[in-house]
Amino acid sequence: MTFDLIIRNANLPDGRKGMDIGVAKGKIKAVGSNLVGDAATEIDAAGMLVSPPFVDPHFHMDATLSLGRPRLNQSGTLLEGIALWGELKPIQTRDDIVERALRYCDLAVSQGLLAIRSHVDICDDTLLGVEALLDVKAKVAPYLDLQLVAFPQDGFYRSASAEQNLIRALGMGVDVVGGIPHFERTMADGARSVRALCEIAAERGLRVDMHCDETDDPNSRHIETLAFEAQRLGLQGRVAGSHLTSMHSMDNYYVSKLLPLIEEAGVAAIANPLINMVIQGRHDTYPKRRGMTRVPEMTGAGIPVAFGSDCVMDPWYPLGQADMLEVAHMGLHVAQLTSRDQMKWCFEAVTETPARILGLEGYGLEPGCNADMIVLQAKDPIDAIRTKAARLHVIRRGKVIASQSRKISNLSLEGRPAIVDPADYAPTENPKS
Ligand code: FE2
């Protein structure tokens, strides 16, 4: 059989080793050991991990790389970040947004991040950000899937024209309905906004992704309303609650009632560990709450949970580099996910799980999937997170679109066997006894 590309001797995220992947016409055609065939391009993965690309399910591309404009966030809080973004909006141009977004997309591709769900603020009546990111979405489509969420940053009801702007944005081609119920003027308005926004999505057959309960206030319970509306309107599998940080501080009894309701409603959760760590708990003295949502508990209840990056060098976060392994690494620490299965789960939380939440078609490594892959300088997903592995090759539709050199710090460990099972570390019998 003739292929356009064959990757030889790859370790796959599901644990299969020594696999060959044959690609033709932009699709994966065959996966197996010792694949027979020729190809114009052959890559020897040499026992390194080949994965589908990273997926970032929560980002703000209209604000990215704007750090310092017009000033820095002094308090580090969510509210100062929102105020600062409000100062930047009137002074930035459409070209500014496009230029920063394109630079970010280039960075993302170099990191093997080939699908991003980005919120776009619709509270500015000019809809400058919407126009800019729709333009960017079309420009980057050959190499990156950009999904846009109509996000009423200043409140769906709190901002006078947000309701009509959101409808306009959807009409212009924005894909997903967003919201921010905890920022509305009252809890009642927050709940009302969740209801209205879910109805807008249901009428148009769209997905929903709301910033939901991004606060340390345990009484912020809009996720309850979001789950209720998802079920009432038949939106199961199409709704995500982003952040859900109030759940960190909620009463345990209430959470024990809440989690099955979220699962039953088919609502997914997106935690943003880097941002949650710097934004939450800012009003605490000591002990300081971590503020990230209850990741292992939700996963245990059958709720899909993904990790997003949220912000890179913007009014809310001064660091970041489009590195989803960095996001997984932080999420692993904050949620204390250190068993081998949990660490593997963290890799899925920045690949397969967000791909499902975004509804990406053709994602994966099975025959018939899009030939979108990354070759990582790591033996397995855990190693990839540990070392924030170099992306040796980034492949889109069967073509190598970016390559990185190996990290020298990892070279000395490459010859060691990959850990496949905790049983490898079981105590051995003492020959002297
Ligand atoms: Fe966000």
- 172-183: average pLDDT: 98
How far does the centroid of ligand 1 lie from the alpha carbon of residue 311, in Å? Answer: 7
Q: Is residue 11 part of a domain?
A: yes
pLDDT of residue 90: 92
Read off φ and ψ for residue 96, nearest 5 degrees: -60, -50
Q: What is the band of 429 on the pLDDT scale with cuts at 50, 70, 90?
A: low
* Residue 33 and residue 151 in one domain: no
pLDDT of res. 412 = 65
428 within a domain of the structure (yes/no):
no
Beta carbons of 385 and 325 less than 8 angstroms apart: yes
Asked if residues 207 and 359 have their Cβ atoms less than 8 Å apart, the reply is yes
DSSP helix, strand, coil percent of the chain (3-state; round to 5): 35, 20, 40
Neighbour count for residue 261 (Cβ, 10 Å)? 16
What count of Cα atoms within 13 Å lies in the side-chain half-sphere of residue 132?
27
Around 394, how many Cα atoms within 13 Å sit in the side-chain half-sphere?
22
401 in a structural domain: yes
In a domain, 431, yes or no: no
Q: How do beta strands 267-271 and 239-243 pair? A: parallel
How many Cβ atoms sit within 10 Å of the Cβ of residue 336? 11
Mean pLDDT of all residues in 350-376: 98
Q: 57 CA distance to ligand 1 centroid (A)?
A: 10
Residues 237, 186 within the same domain: yes
Structure tokens at 314: 């913007």
Residue 433 lies in a domain: no
Average pLDDT, the chain: 94
| Residue pLDDT, tens place only, 279-324 | 999 999 999 999 999 999 999 999 999 999 999 999 999 999 999 9
pLDDT value for 35: 94
Q: Is residue 429 part of a domain?
A: no
- CATH assignment at residue 305: 3.20.20.140
Residues of the chain with pLDDT > 70, as a percent, come to 95
- The model's pLDDT over 154-170, given as tens digits with 9 standing for 90+, comes to 999 999 999 999 999 99
Q: 66 falls in which pLDDT band (50, 70, 90)?
A: very high
Cα 275 to ligand 1 centre (Å): 9
d(CA 175, CA 210): 13
Q: 267-282 pLDDT, tens per residue?
A: 999 999 999 999 999 9
Taking the centre of ligand 1 as the mean of its atom positions, its distance from the CA of residue 120, in whole angstroms, is: 10
One domain, residues 9 and 123:
no
Residues 16 and 100 in one domain: no
Domain assignment present for residue 181? The answer is yes
Q: What is the DSSP string of 381-396?
A: HHHHHHHT--EEEEEE
Q: Where are the alpha helices (DSSP H) in 271-420?
A: 273-279, 295-300, 324-334, 340-348, 352-358, 381-387, 408-411
Q: For residue 165, how many C-alpha atoms fall within 13 Å in the half-sphere facing its CB?
A: 27
User: How far is the centre of ligand 1, averaged over its atoms, from the C-alpha of 121 (Å)?
Assistant: 10
Q: Which residues are catalytic?
A: 214
> 34-58, pLDDT tens digit by residue?
999 999 999 999 999 999 999 999 9
Give the structural domain span for 374.
2-52+364-422
- pLDDT score recorded for residue 418: 56
Which residues neighbour 432 within 8 Å (Cβ) at sequence distance 6 or greater? Answer: none
| Residue 29: its H or E element | strand 27-32
Query: Which among 24, 52, 49, 51 has a CA at the least distance from the CA of 38?
Result: 24
- Among the candidates 358, 378, 403, a domain finishes at 358
Is the pLDDT at 21 greater than 70? The verdict is: yes
Retrieve residue 159's tokens. 């901002």
- CA–centroid distance, residue 124 to ligand 1 (Å): 17
The pTM for the full model equals 0.95
Q: Looking at 32-36, 112-116, 363-367, 406-410, which range is the least confident one?
A: 406-410
Residues 382 and 349 in one domain: no
- Write down the pLDDT at residue 415: 66
Name residue, tokens 């975004």.
358
Distance CA 322, CA 319 (A): 10
Measured in angstroms, how far is the CA atom of residue 27 from the centroid of ligand 1? 33
Instruction: Tell me the per-residue pLDDT of 203-228, one tens digit each, with 9 for 90 and over.
Output: 999 999 999 999 999 999 999 999 99
201 Cα to the center of ligand 1, angstroms: 19
The Å distance, Cα 58 to ligand 1 centre, comes to 6
Rounded to the nearest angstrom, the distance between the alpha carbon of 180 and the centre of ligand 1 is: 9
- Same domain for 244 and 354, yes or no, is yes
**Collapsed DSSP state (helix, strand, coil) of residue 151:** strand
Q: Could you tell me if 354 and 384 lie in one domain?
A: no
Are 46 and 93 found together in one domain? no
- For 175-190, give one letter per residue: b (16+ CB within 10 A) or e: bbbbbbbbbbeebebb
**Mean pLDDT to the nearest integer, 124-141:** 97
Q: Which of 305, 340, 358 finishes a domain?
A: 358
Which DSSP string do the residues of 318-344 spell out, in sequence order?
S---S-HHHHHHHHHHHTT--SHHHHH
Q: Which of 179, 174, 232, 168 lies closest to 206, judged by CA?
A: 174
* Pair (43, 184) in one structural domain: no
Number of domains in the chain: 2
Residue 433 has pLDDT above 60, yes or no: no
Separation of CA 59 and ligand 1 centre (Å): 6
Residue 339 confidence (pLDDT): 96
* Residue 427, preceding peptide bond in cis (omega within 30° of 0): no
Sequence-ordered list of residues with C-beta below 8 angstroms from that of 426, at least 6 positions apart, any chain: none
Looking up residue 397, the CATH number of its domain turns out to be: 2.30.40.10
| CA–centroid distance, residue 149 to ligand 1 (Å) | 11
- Whether 421 shows a pLDDT value over 80: the answer reads no
Task: Say if strands 305-307 and 373-376 run parallel, antiparallel, or are unpaired.
Answer: unpaired
Distance 200 CA to ligand 1 centre (A): 21
83 lies in a domain?
Answer: yes
Given 318, 335, 358, the domain boundary residue is 358
Question: Distance, CA 153 to ligand 1 centroid (Å)?
Answer: 9
pLDDT at residue 417 in the model: 59
Angle at 404 between CA 401 and CA 410, to 5 degrees: 145
The pLDDT of residue 407 is 83
One domain for residues 294 and 306: yes
pLDDT computed for residue 431 by the predictor: 47
Q: Do 153 and 19 share a domain, yes or no?
A: no
Q: Residue 416: pLDDT band by 50, 70, 90 thresholds?
A: low
160 and 45 both lie in a single domain: no
In contact, 166 and 140? CB cutoff 8 Å = no
* Residue 400, helix vs strand vs coil: strand
Q: Which residues, other chains included, contact 247 with Cβ-Cβ below 8 Å and sequence gap of 6+? A: 213, 223, 255, 258, 293, 294
**Cross-strand pairs, 305:** 269
